[in-house]
């Protein structure tokens, strides 16, 4: 036994970060081909999925919902469990107005073990289920991080992982200015896009103001605003594992 123990010890001395190698990320092409992780979808139909992370928020979420309702637009809200628990009426409204609710963890942690992630997902699921009577099908990782651990934990918990189109990251949380947010989305809009916004996590008045311009502009171009589920129904990608 002694030589074995010693050699393990030596490994730690020479490779202190050896366990980092377990954070395997096989890249977009691989995960996309499994159908378990979605960035956007190939389609020629002018469909677009607006998504809002981190809510609900008592000031901004109702404003976002009002704009969506005014234009008959559907969206997906990736909610934080503890916020959902605090503001169940907003989750109820999102659901009642035809929007989709996704899971964005319970406490929005940036670091976690597989067990902690699973716990975050389950707790959020329970809150959403208790309000809407439905369990979410989609999970958006905090910060958009994905690797083997995150994807397999999500898949084993019954989720598909939803990220966003690389050209549709509005950066709205940095408050870059309303026009910048508008231009990013409108000038880059392609059928099948998934757009990333935030309806909480700070002052989101720029997001709200931008949305008031984005939706009519894209409607004018013939786009329809759909939930993630509706978008995926138009996609031929199937889950292979």
Residues marked as catalytic: 53, 198
Exposure of 132 by Cβ count < 10 A (0-12 exposed, 13-18 middle, 19+ buried)? middle
Judged by CB, which is closer to Zn ion: 47, or 80? Answer: 80
Judged by CB, which is closer to Zn ion: 102, or 191? Answer: 102
Which one of 54, 100, 120, 125 is in contact with Zn ion (CB under 5 A)? 54
Judged by CB, which is closer to Zn ion: 53, or 94? Answer: 53
Give the interface size with Zn ion as a residue count (CB under 5 A). 2
Return the exposure string of 59-80: e unless at least 16 CB atoms fall within 10 Å of the residue's CB, then b.
ebbbbbbebbeeeebbbbbbbb
Which one of 40, 53, 172, 199 is in contact with Zn ion (CB under 5 A)? 53
3-state secondary structure of 128: helix
Judged by CB, which is closer to Zn ion: 105, or 223? Answer: 105
CB of 7 to Zn ion, least distance (A): 42
Residue nearest to Zn ion (CB): 53
Binding status of residue 120 toward Zn ion by CB under 5 A? no
Rounded Cα–Cα distance for residues 203 and 186 (Å): 22
Instruction: Sketch the per residue contact string, 162 through 201, with Zn ion: x for CB under 5 A, - otherwise.
Output: ----------------------------------------
Residue 180, CA distances (Å) to 31, 71, 141, 229 in order: 31, 22, 25, 28
User: Number of C-alpha atoms within 13 angstroms, CB side, residue 44?
Assistant: 0
Residues near Zn ion (CB under 5 A): 53-54
């Amino acid at each position: 036994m002694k030589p074995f123990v010693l050699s393990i010890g030596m490994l730690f001395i020479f490779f202190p970060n050896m366990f980092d190698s377990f954070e395997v990320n096989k890249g977009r092409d691989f995960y996309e081909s499994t159908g378990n992780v979605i960035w956007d979808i190939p389609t020629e139909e002018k469909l677009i999925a607006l998504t809002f992370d981190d809510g609900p928020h008592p000031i901004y979420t109702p404003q976002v919902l009002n704009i969506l309702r005014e234009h008959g637009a559907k969206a997906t809200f990736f909610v934080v469990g503890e916020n959902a628990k605090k503001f169940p009426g907003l989750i109820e409204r999102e659901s009642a107005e035809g929007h989709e609710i996704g899971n964005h963890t319970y406490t929005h942690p940036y670091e976690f073990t597989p067990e902690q992630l699973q716990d975050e997902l389950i707790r959020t699921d329970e809150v959403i289920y208790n309000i809407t009577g439905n369990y979410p099908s989609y999970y958006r990782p905090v910060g958009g991080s994905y690797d083997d651990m995150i994807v397999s934990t999500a898949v084993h918990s019954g989720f598909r992982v939803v990220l966003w189109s690389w050209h549709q990251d509005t950066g709205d949380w940095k408050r870059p200015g309303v026009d910048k947010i508008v231009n990013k989305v409108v000038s880059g809009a392609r059928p099948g896009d998934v757009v990333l916004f935030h309806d909480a996590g700070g002052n989101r008045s720029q997001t709200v103001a931008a949305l008031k311009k984005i939706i009519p502009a894209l409607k004018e171009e013939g786009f329809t605003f759909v939930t993630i589920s509706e978008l995926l129904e138009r996609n031929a990608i199937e889950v292979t594992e």
